[in-house]
Amino acid sequence: MQWMEIEIRANGDSVHVSGRGCHGERARERELSGFSVRKLLKFRVHVGNAIARVQALEGDALAEARALHEAIFAGELRDLYVALSSRGERVLVRFMIEEPKLQAVPWEAVCRPDSSHGFLASAASVSVARGVTSVKPWQPRELRRGLVVLPVLAIPDRSVLDGLSVALREHIESGALELLPAIEGEAARNPILFERLRSGPKPHVLHFLGHGGFDSKRNPVIRLADDAFGEKSLMPIEVFAEELRANFNAMRVVYLQACSGARPGVFASAAELLARSGVDAVVAHLWPVRTEVARAAALDFYTHLIGANSGSGDIGASMQASRRTLLANSADGFSPVLYLRGPDSQLFDLEGRRVRPPKPKREAGGEVPQALLNLLDGPFSLLLGDTWDDELTVEMRSRLRESLVKALRRSKEDVKQDTPLFSLAQLYALKAGRRKLDRLFQRVLRAVRADDSTTLVDAVARRLRPGVHGTLSWLPLLEHAIARHHPNALLYAIQPGVLGNDERRMIMVRRPGEDDWEEIEELPPLHLEDTFVIIRVYGGSSPEEQPVLVSPKLTEDDYIQGHVDLRYIIPPEWTNQLMGWLRTRPVLCVGLSAFDWRHRLLLRWLYDQRPPPAGSVAVLAEGQEEREVWEKRGAGLPGESTIAVVQMPGDALIEVLEAQL
């Protein structure tokens, strides 16, 4: 993308402008001819009046917009703009402005002298944004599925939220956009708000519906839901920004929808602080907007952002399209502004996106099986298998299967569609070698966002208590979810050591209140009453920020040898505590199958050829026809055993787990 920055600063009442381009060009600083700070603020009033009267920009206001365009794009800045525009690509124009009084000016409203609608805000070949200075790194995010939007409703008028849901219904039903349940009412004020942000699914966009203001020192604040006594609840935007940083792995955009009645300019100041703190892009309004206008702006914005042939993940192009829609009828299109932290407005890469319509919601009703309620009431261990059907796991296994089938067919192998995945991996390893298999697997892992949250894992992790738990996932989903929902707990992750080395295991720790993981050699005393220990039986990506691929179980030989080596995965110093815990607490089995020999071998090792403790429960998916094997034959384990079966889809299990919190 071609880009240029226009730096505008005040020197007393005079205004100075300079610029630079993406190829190292620099336009020298000069005074903005014909415009002082006072005159620019008067121009702001004229634009605001047109918005308030629901009129187009015309008369003296339009003449000022044309004159301001001529004053900015003059001399070297004009030459730079023309040179970049002639390359045939969209040009991103970023206004770099620090003074609050100049930020209040609608720079997006400048208009070409030969036109009555040639506004910078709506130009098809240009994206206009406001830049900020920030030391936070920036990079585009690959969008693998639909865009996830989390609304926060901080006002009592729910019609604003309902209007947003109705406007976006078509995109929600197609799967291109997922609108999470809104944080509203009591949950939209602290401390519940922060807890919901920390524990809920991680959105790509946080859409705030409410008001803003300034405190006694003119610092911008947002108004949360009123307290139980009807008193205002205000939060400094800097505090809000710091809290949102915990979501920045997934979050890219904050949309501040200033509802009717908000104080002008407040959210623009808030937007700059949010962008500086690390949010890639913030949409805000210079003026409060009417409900129907805000709804139309949001619809057009999201439609173009997620459209395959329109914005395609380009937030700058999406804002231009949204403004064009509004400016067709009035000056409302000058109210929304975009603050952009990086030099590129392409925030999302949609190339590998797979859009799936959401599954129909399960009808409410039906009693929760007593066996599951009894297990959730007391301490239990979780054994998370690899046959559950969340989108992330399904996508990863599907990509791995596609890659293996394609590679084997290139070597003239006749591959059957029903061949188990681990058998395909075995065949490829025998034909091409283990090194190539590991490289293929790493490419698949990189294509799947391992930091995405999965609803089922989140729901299970929120319900877990300290103790010993196991996972068969190649991705550190359970570790990350526990760290999010239990930030003050000590957390250990144990997995097989690196293949070919003498190390039999790798143990990593995340200490209370910290984000980083570190590998440890010497083992401290273990207190399972307040410590989580995760046994990662099948290896895979380590849980640290820059993950390392460690001994993933992929082939038939891996699983057979892995079963032999299981006795080495638990450190001798902790063996009695860990295995004693597992063998004396009921187990919740999710994603396991009694018909899978790998799962049967694992259960036999865990329980030392004995049945699991009384009260254990296996959750089977719909269509998983093996209830009798679990209930009457103990999933094939030796001895007399009874494992209660609960048969329900994943979304139903999530409802049960969340209802028990």
For 311-325, what is each residue's pLDDT tens digit? 578 999 999 988 998
According to DSSP, the residues that pair with 285 across neighbouring strands are 336
Q: Determine what percent of the chain is predicted with pLDDT higher than 70.
A: 91
**450 neighbors 541 (Cβ within 8 angstroms):** yes
Which token pair is 296? Answer: 């139309």
Instruction: Write the DSSP string, 533-569.
Output: EEEETT-EE-SSSS--EE----SHHHHHHHHHHHHHH
Q: Comparing 241-255, 467-481, 574-588, which segment has the lowest mean pLDDT? A: 241-255
Burial class of residue 422 (count of CB atoms within 10 Å of its CB; 0-12, 13-18, 19+): middle
Kindly tell me if the per-residue pLDDT of 452 is higher than 60: no
Which DSSP helix (H) or strand (E) runs through 16? Answer: strand 14-21
For 346-374, what is each residue's pLDDT tens digit? 888 887 777 777 765 544 445 678 888 88
For 165-184, what is each residue's pLDDT tens digit? 888 888 898 888 989 888 88
Chain mean pLDDT for the chain: 85
Could you give the CA distance from residue 30 to residue 386 in angstroms, rounded to a whole number?
64
Which token pair is 408? Answer: 């084997």
**156 neighbors 184 (Cβ within 8 angstroms):** no
Q: What are φ and ψ of residue 204, in 5° steps?
A: -85, -30
Domain boundaries, the chain: 2-131, 141-349, 370-390+454-659, 394-441
Kindly tell me if the per-residue pLDDT of 244 is higher than 90: no
pLDDT score at 363: 47
Tokens 């083992």 appear where?
523
Q: Within its chain, how far is the Cα of 438 from the centroid? A: 28
Kindly tell me if the per-residue pLDDT of 8 is higher than 70: yes
Tokens 């877990």 appear where?
464
For 104-155, what is each residue's pLDDT tens digit? 899 999 999 989 999 999 998 999 999 988 776 667 777 777 888 999 988 8
Which token pair is 162? Answer: 């309902």
**314 neighbors 308 (Cβ within 8 angstroms):** no
Q: Comparing 134-138, 473-477, 623-627, which segment has the lowest mean pLDDT? A: 134-138
Q: Give which of 213, 207, 211, 212 is closest to 183, Cα–Cα.
A: 207
Using omega within 30 degrees of 0 as the cis cutoff, is the peptide bond preceding 191 cis? Answer: yes
- Helix 455-463 to helix 650-659 angle, to the nearest 10 degrees? 30
Q: Who wins on pLDDT, 515 or 198?
A: 515
Q: Give which of 342, 387, 422, 398 is closest to 139, Cα–Cα.
A: 342
Which DSSP helix (H) or strand (E) runs through 371? Answer: helix 370-377
Which token pair is 342? Answer: 């990086």
On the CB side of 361, CA atoms within 13 Å amount to 5
On the CB side of 347, CA atoms within 13 Å amount to 29
Which token pair is 472? Answer: 């068969």
pLDDT score at 261: 39
Q: What is the CATH number of domain 141-349?
A: 3.40.50.2300
Kindly tell me if the per-residue pLDDT of 213 is higher than 80: no
3 state SS of 15:
strand
**Residue 162 DSSP code:** H
For 557-611, what is each residue's pLDDT tens digit? 988 887 777 778 889 899 999 998 988 889 999 999 989 989 988 888 888 877 7
Q: Give which of 105, 104, 108 is closest to 127, Cα–Cα.
A: 108
pLDDT score at 308: 54
Could you give the CA distance from residue 395 to residue 142 in angstroms, rounded to a whole number?
14
**303 neighbors 171 (Cβ within 8 angstroms):** yes
pTM of the complete model: 0.65
Kindly tell me if the per-residue pLDDT of 25 is higher than 70: yes
Question: Who's near 351: CB < 8 A, 6+ residues apart?
Answer: 142
3 state SS of 621:
coil
User: How far is the CA of 574 from the CAs of 219, 507, 512, 543, 571, in angstroms?
Assistant: 53, 12, 20, 21, 6
What does the pLDDT average to over 513-524? Answer: 89
- Give the torsion through C-alpha atoms of 438, 443, 444, 449, to 10 deg: 130
Bridge-based pairing of strands 549-550 and 540-541 is antiparallel
pLDDT score at 36: 96
Which token pair is 30? Answer: 């000069």
Question: Who's near 483: CB < 8 A, 6+ residues apart?
Answer: 491, 510, 515, 543
pLDDT score at 535: 94
